[in-house]
């Protein structure tokens, strides 16, 4: 069994977000991190590895410096890494990106026992589209918003966290799961892991490595193959802190009910 985790290097939005005049992100001027939800996906995979000894493979599409992020994933405990990087892939939107990543995952190979894991969404684009699109293109069943994952043989039970509640479903491998931050607390790299990271295999897939895959077609990859046009990029306004009531007494409960009634929620 192996788990392929798709991860992405994103600008660290805890600092200042820089936007180019054309509305796209000015990535060069910002610090980068591994997308937080992807870290949860990687941690979920590493937990399965801790329990079963399975292999964990990380894959990313991005420019050459993204290899640094892959090495960090190897230092956390992943076994192999793939960097999908080529000029032809540049400018891809979610449709084209998932096309290329699906081809890369196809080339690595998805077998009966395998699982593909992704973060729910990346903090730069916030689309939550790449994971599900990879699943569609690989014809894999997909489970999104995983807040808990239990594996039993070839059956995986996933607790999905939705806006208004939880949904627990079972899925057979091979499948694709997108993960949310409630799933786990990502581990740190370990000292021993760092010293092993540079001796683990990191393979680069360029255009020639993937061009024979049926999913790779000049009209469906890169800027030309991307149907999305960016209208505007902006940092979403912070949500309000909300109102917290403390106490389990009757008066507090009545106050809570009163607020909910006044807002026509109940």
Binding residues vs another protein (CB under 8 A): 71-72, 75, 188-195, 197-198
Please state the closest distance from residue 161 (CB atom) to another protein, in A: 24
Distance CA 255, CA 137 (A): 51
Please state the closest distance from residue 71 (CB atom) to another protein, in A: 7
Closer residue to another protein (CB): 64 or 266: 64
Closer residue to another protein (CB): 79 or 213: 79
DSSP symbols for 136-190: HHHT--EEEEEEEEEEETTEEEEEEEETTEEEEEEEESSEEEEE-GGG--PPPP-
Closer residue to another protein (CB): 188 or 231: 188
Please list, in sequence order, all residues whose beta carbon lies within 8 angstroms of the beta carbon of residue 182, skipping any fewer than 6 positions away. 147, 161
Q: What's the alpha-carbon Rg for the chain, to the nearest Å?
A: 20
Residue 264, Cα to own-chain centre: how many angstroms?
36
Please state the closest distance from residue 123 (CB atom) to another protein, in A: 17
Please list, in sequence order, all residues whose beta carbon lies within 8 angstroms of the beta carbon of residue 127, skipping any fewer than 6 positions away. 94, 121
Please state the closest distance from residue 193 (CB atom) to another protein, in A: 8
DSSP 3-state of 157: strand
What kind and span of H or E run contains 167?
strand 165-172
Closer residue to another protein (CB): 111 or 185: 185
Please state the closest distance from residue 187 (CB atom) to another protein, in A: 8
Please state the closest distance from residue 15 (CB atom) to another protein, in A: 15
DSSP 3-state of 95: helix
DSSP state of 120: S
Closer residue to another protein (CB): 188 or 234: 188
Closer residue to another protein (CB): 161 or 194: 194
């Amino acid at each position: 069994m192996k788990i392929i985790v798709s991860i992405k290097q994103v600008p660290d939005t805890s600092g200042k977000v820089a936007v180019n005049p054309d509305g796209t992100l000015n990535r060069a001027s910002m610090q980068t991190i591994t997308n937080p939800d992807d870290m949860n996906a990687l941690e979920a995979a590493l937990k399965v590895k801790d329990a079963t000894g399975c292999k964990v493979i990380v894959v990313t599409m991005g420019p050459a410096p993204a290899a640094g992020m892959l090495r960090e994933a190897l230092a956390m405990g992943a076994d192999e890494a793939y960097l999908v990087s080529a000029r032809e892939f540049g400018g891809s939107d979610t449709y084209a990106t998932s096309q290329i990543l699906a081809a890369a995952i196809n080339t690595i190979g998805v077998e009966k026992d395998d699982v593909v894991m992704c973060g729910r969404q990346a903090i730069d684009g916030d689309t939550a589209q790449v994971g599900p699109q990879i699943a569609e293109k690989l014809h894999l069943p997909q489970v999104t918003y995983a807040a808990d994952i239990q594996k039993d043989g070839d059956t995986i039970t996933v607790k999905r966290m939705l806006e208004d509640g939880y949904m627990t479903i079972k899925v057979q491998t091979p499948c694709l799961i997108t993960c949310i931050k409630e799933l786990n607390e990502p581990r740190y790299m370990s000292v021993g892991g760092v010293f092993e990271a540079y001796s683990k295999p990191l393979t680069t897939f360029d255009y020639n490595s993937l061009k024979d895959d049926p999913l790779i077609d000049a009209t469906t990859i890169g800027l030309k193959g991307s149907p999305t046009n960016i209208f505007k990029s902006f940092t979403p306004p912070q949500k309000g802190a909300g109102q917290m009531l403390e106490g389990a007494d009757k008066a507090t409960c009545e106050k809570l009910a009163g607020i909910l009634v006044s807002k026509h929620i109940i």
